[in-house]
Structure 1
């Protein structure tokens, strides 16, 4: 399964819905990624794909300084799961992979 691409994420958190973009790809055979949101660009760490389970960690400073741990299940061009920040309750995460230019479906 390939998770490479640009993913639009939505997280339902206690402070409201947060939108972010995650870019995933392979560099020298290693899965790498970067998250973009709230004016920040953050590298993903401990990135792992085991079957359809994708996990990673990232540190953010906006809207709060938090260390987040994500665990999502990938199903084709969609994903769903949770994000956890320390002792705070888990937040639901959903996402959709952006179509590559020129591959959009015609109506």
Structure 2
């Protein structure tokens, strides 16, 4: 079985869309700690590369008018360290016209 979340930067966990956004979703089911910082960075960079290199629109050309949102769905509590990382990521991605959001689903 393939792992989801930051442990697997080679895999896009989930893609969805609504009226305005295409949502590239990271599904995180294990505890998130500072030791996973590089994994998180690799995963975010992989998602951004999927957008920047045109692969997203090649696979889904009907999404051309949609804005891009990357989200992480946390199935574990978000700790203070992760919250700070998510805020910094949100700010960094906004400079590339990409929205970043997170949800705590516990």
Identify, as 1 or 2, the structure richer in strand: 1
Same fold (TM over 0.5): no
Identify, as 1 or 2, the structure richer in helix: 2
Q: Point out which structure has higher relative CO (alpha carbons under 8 A, 6+ apart).
A: 2
TM-score, length-scaled by structure 1: 0.31
